[in-house]
Chains A and B, each alone.
Chain A
Amino acid sequence: MKIAVCLRRVPDTTTKIVVAAGGKSIDEAGVKFVANPYDEYALEAALALKDAAGSGETTVVALGGDIVQETLRTALAMGIDRAVHLQGTPSADGLANARVLADHLRGGGYDLILCGKLAVDDYGQQTGAMIAELLELPCATAITRLDVAYGRASVEREVEGGVEAASCALPAVFSCDKGLNNPRLPSLKGIMAAKKKPLEVIAVTPDAGGVTVVALALPPERAPGKIVGEGAAAVPALMQALTSDAKVI
């Protein structure tokens, strides 16, 4: 089984956002970058499926500047077999990026293409579904369960008020949500091995797409709150505030 995972490099979720000069992006000074947390579920799923099959190949693909090679090496250290760096500047339009990824993945003979549900920076939540449409493959997004057998996949995804089960033939594209699995950490042996694994670099040029970033701004601060009191004795004061002032009860 051949499995590809699309990977994004994003600021760590503990990052405090500072808007850069120009007001359209974040100030990256001092920011720690990591593999997108949702992509780690995709990486783990790929590794677990290959482990279970006892054969196959896992590939990780990332679009971006040279710095994404660092993140690709992290995936290799987790156990992914080879990496592809699509070297280029991502567009603000997710479809332009999906097109670059799909163009590379097309003809790669992949049984499964996996990605994270969303990237925790731009919250675009569209890459997986768009790649699937461009490649005319079956797709389910934000899956929390994946079983593969006899050339078919069964998945589950959460919807409001319940769970939706779905199935399709392979090849297919899935985007992975928290709950799918528990991603492994790179081992020391894996980190050493990653240095020798193949990392192919391919120059790409995503098109400009149909969206323009106008501004990035911090949300309005919340008005400072107040401590209404200590212990259970403060409950009447809290209830007074919630019923009379805020009127939410």
Chain B
Amino acid sequence: MTDILVVLEVRDGALRKGAGELLAAARRITDGSVDALVCSAGAVNGLDALGAVGADRVLTALHPDFATYCPDGIAATAASIASSYRAVLVAATATGKDLGPRIAARMNAPCAMDVTSLDMNGNAIRVVRPVYAGKALQTLDVSSSGVIVVRPGAYPAGQHGRPGATAAVNVPSFTRRLEVAAVRKSDKGALDVAEARVVISGGRGLGDPKNFALLDELAAAFGGEAAVGASRAVVDAGWAEHGAQVGQTGKTVAPELYIAVGISGAIQHLAGMRTAKVIVAINRDKDAPIFKVADYGIVGDLFEVVPALTAAVKQARAH
């Protein structure tokens, strides 16, 4: 049995981004079939495009309770068909990290969380996953069937030109133990640091919470591609929301560009951002540890450097 089931995420009647990436991850570990399970309360747009990115079949499971996230029902549905598959893949989003272990427990099988690479090793699925917030990488063999929770962006979506047939799946009877309301969008409508292409993080060097406005302006210059993050020190001091914290007790981020402003670079912060493609550090202290991991550093007063950088980014993007 080599077939793989991927469970795709739906919110507000639409597929969340990352379906193609998850299907690409599934394709790495099978020459057999890859089926995509979509649980929803009604029609979902974009399902006909899933064949082109690697789904042999799209399995639709309809239930009125699936209008919002329904962990009990989705886990029951996935687990009810899981025995036909070698493994179940879900994306390591907030929802996937919640759902994966539930499906695994119902399958009586292990769950490998937040995997960044996966391959077959004989009969086992060999996965690599960051541990200690990325300070180390653990290689695991998942020997029985199991759930693999794959970090978004681990593999780019591929083109497969599969037929992408659709089949309906029965939703087994389940008890809706948790009632989940619709997602309340963030007030700012701001991008999450874990999702943004550019992350600009501030630390104690900002001196005052109101100075985060400088970072907001720099983020705005990137035209909706940037999110503002923060070090633990300033989150603990109440200068920034805990959801913005980057580091071992916050979020692990891997943006294309990470700009650390007034952050000295404590080891637990570095763990959370060291896989960014390009790291820029702006700090007054030339000996700050952040400069050891930064690709490009500017030593200087952030109150002069950041506005100059904001102006330069605006100008560059205007061209």
Contacts and interface: CB of A to CB of B under 8 A. Distances in A.
A172 B111 CA distance: 22
A109 interface: no
Contact of B178 (A11, A166, A210, A232): A166
A126 B132 contact: no
A16 B274 CA distance: 14
Main secondary structure of the interface of B (DSSP, over half): mixed
Contacts of B317: 249
Interface in B130-147: 130-146
Interface residues of A, number: 87
Contacts of B94: 142, 157-160, 164
Interface string B276-306: 0111100000100001111111111100110
B132 to A, nearest CB: 5
B141 A218 contact: no
A248 B131 contact: no
B71 A139 contact: yes
A21 interface: no
A51 interface: no
B141 A214 contact: yes
B232 to A, nearest CB: 9
Interface stretch (A42-50, A76-84, A221-229): A221-229
Contact of B309 (A125, A134, A218, A235): A235
Interface in B164-214: 175, 177-181, 183-186, 191-192, 194-195, 198
B183 A163 contact: yes
Contact of B305 (A93, A123, A235): A235
Interface string A129-172: 11011101111111010000000000001111111111111001
A123 B178 contact: no
Given A168-B179, A232-B304, A133 B106 contact: yes
Nearest to A36: B249
Interface string B254-277: 001100000000111000001101
Interface stretch (A60-68, A197-205, A238-246): A238-246
A213 interface: yes
Given A133-B106, A210-B110, A227 B177 contact: no
